[in-house]
């Protein structure tokens, strides 16, 4: 019997068995929804760097931003759209004609027109009736199609909106020319089983030509729900590098890509060996550290300290790793510390061609354990204090805000 080499050998599910529609069109939201992570700001030049790497690794659609937000944002979208990238460049707009005009002027070939759909959003945020939302949606979809844009239509909070309204709205915008329909789980309340039912019902009632999903991670289910959607026939999943995004973030690009590649046997066309490079670039430019135990690209994703684990890894990496770290451009690390076993020390000594008797190995092990256990946590506490201070209030400080209030003259006494 041949030795299994990859995780696929243990999980033989195929795209055909899962009814997955290929090819998958990865729609990256890092520069739009990812930038809406509190405290994050990308300059136009930084957006171009990220978009270029996304395009190089095989991402199909890059949302460059919302050009109506500011002149700097409009410049960023123009810069990315004019760079000649292989990826399709998309810009977003509300159901407002001026927003659509801004996208048209940006040079983006794709547009995502978005509007809220749930009752709580319509009543408290938009203060619009369902009929007003429908009219604005149809007007802007037709405006974008008349300009020759590929149009995706998105509703915020789709899954909490009345289904009859969702059905009518999406049917009408598709009839008006929308090319792609996006269902959004805006506050991450779907579970895979519930989302499967919802999307099957949506397909039955709306019959979308091209289905896309936008899943948030409030309950840690964004990637799982995105995979469920792909199993249901969604072709254009929304993803963000490192899972960035509002609140708890969005479905992680690297997770969804590798899950499809390694667990489903789907050829995504993404150069997975550059995913770590992409992750580190976004970490650097966003200022949001990748959590140490983040799947696939975290600093500990391929690190081992416990003796039983390192012994297994040294015998065969499949014992404790479902795929090789090189698959994402990472390297395996053997950490020496409290839980280190003899096998790891023997392997470490080989780096200098050294061997040792068991008594010497045990003496060295004792020194390693004693040393690591004796370390204080002062440096760690200082780091955590600084980290918490930075991210508990990531925007302007109160002092900066009130200085600006005074500078513009709000509250000033006039004679």
Q: For the segment 109-161, what is each residue's pLDDT rounded down to a tens digit?
A: 999 999 999 999 999 999 999 999 999 999 999 999 999 999 999 999 999 99
Which residues are registered as beta bridge partners of 62? 28, 89
- The two tokens of residue 331 are 């390297």
Q: Tell me, yes or no, whether 296 lies in a domain.
A: no
pLDDT of residue 413: 55
Average of per-residue pLDDT across 150-174: 98
Task: Using pLDDT thresholds of 50, 70 and 90, give the confidence band for residue 415.
Answer: very low
pLDDT given for residue 18 in this prediction:
67
- pLDDT on residue 396: 83
Q: How many domains does the chain have?
A: 3
Task: Indicate if 398 and 249 belong to the same structural domain.
Answer: no
pLDDT at site 16: 56
Is 126 in the same domain as 167? yes
Asked whether residue 374 carries a pLDDT value surpassing 80, the answer given is yes
Does 15 score more than 60 pLDDT?
no
- Cβ(312)–Cβ(252) under 8 Å? no
Residues 231 and 331 in one domain: no
Q: Establish if 4 belongs to a structural domain.
A: no
Residue 7's pLDDT is: 56
Q: What pLDDT score was predicted for residue 355?
A: 92
SS3 assignment, position 111? strand
Q: Are residues 49 and 156 in the same domain?
A: yes
Residue 292 lies in a domain: no
Same domain, 395 and 359: no
Least confident range from 119-123, 321-325, 335-339: namely 335-339
In this predicted structure, the answer to whether residue 1 has a pLDDT above a threshold of 50 is: no
- pLDDT (average), residues 341-349: 85
5 belongs to a structural domain: no
Judged against a pLDDT cut of 80, whether residue 17 lies above it is answered with no
**pLDDT higher than threshold 50 for residue 403:** yes
Does the residue 281 lie in any domain?
A: yes
Residue in the block written with tokens 């499949």: 318
Look over the chain and give the mean of its residue pLDDT values, rounded to a whole number: 92
Domain interval for residue 332: 303-374
Determine, yes or no, domain membership for 1: no
């Amino acid at each position: 019997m041949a030795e299994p080499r990859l995780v696929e050998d243990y999980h033989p599910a195929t795209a055909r068995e899962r009814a997955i529609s290929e090819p998958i069109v990865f729609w990256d939201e890092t520069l739009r929804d990812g930038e809406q992570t509190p405290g994050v700001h990308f300059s136009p030049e930084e957006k171009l760097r990220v978009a270029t790497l996304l395009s190089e690794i095989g991402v199909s659609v890059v949302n460059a931003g919302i050009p109506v937000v500011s002149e700097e944002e409009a410049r960023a979208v123009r810069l990315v759209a004019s760079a000649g990238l292989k990826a399709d460049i998309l810009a977003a707009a509300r159901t407002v004609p001026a927003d659509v005009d801004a996208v048209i002027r940006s040079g983006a070939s794709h547009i995502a027109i978005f509007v809220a759909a749930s009752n709580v959003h319509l009543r408290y945020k938009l203060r619009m009736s369902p009929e007003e939302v429908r009219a604005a949606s149809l007007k802007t979809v037709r405006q974008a199609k008349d300009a020759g844009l590929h149009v995706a239509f998105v509703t915020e909070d789709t899954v909490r909106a009345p289904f009859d309204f969702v059905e009518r709205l999406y049917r009408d915008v598709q009839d008006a020319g929308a090319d792609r329909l996006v269902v959004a789980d805006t506050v991450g309340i779907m579970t895979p089983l519930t989302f499967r039912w919802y999307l099957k019902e949506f397909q039955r009632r709306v019959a979308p030509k091209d289905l896309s999903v936008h899943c948030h991670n409030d309950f840690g289910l964004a990637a799982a729900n995105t995979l469920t959607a792909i199993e249901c026939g969604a072709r254009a999943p929304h993803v963000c590098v490192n899972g960035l995004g509002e609140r708890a973030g969005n479905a992680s690009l690297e997770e969804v890509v590798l899950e499809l590649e390694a667990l489903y046997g789907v050829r995504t066309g993404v150069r997975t060996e550059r995913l770590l490079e992409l992750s580190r670039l976004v970490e650097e430019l966003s200022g949001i550290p990748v959590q140490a135990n983040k799947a696939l690209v975290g600093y500990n994703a391929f690190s081992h300290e416990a003796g039983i684990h390192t012994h297994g890894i040294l015998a065969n990496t499949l014992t404790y790793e479902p795929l090789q770290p090189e698959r994402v451009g990472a390297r395996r690390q053997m950490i020496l510390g409290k839980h280190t076993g003899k096998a790891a020390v023997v392997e470490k000594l080989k780096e200098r061609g050294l061997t040792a008797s068991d008594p010497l190995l045990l003496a060295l092990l004792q020194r390693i354990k004693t040393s690591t256990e004796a370390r204080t946590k002062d440096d760690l506490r200082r780091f955590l204090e600084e980290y918490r201070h930075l991210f508990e209030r990531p925007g302007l400080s109160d002092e900066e805000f009130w200085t600006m209030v005074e500078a513009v003259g709000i509250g000033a006494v006039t004679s």
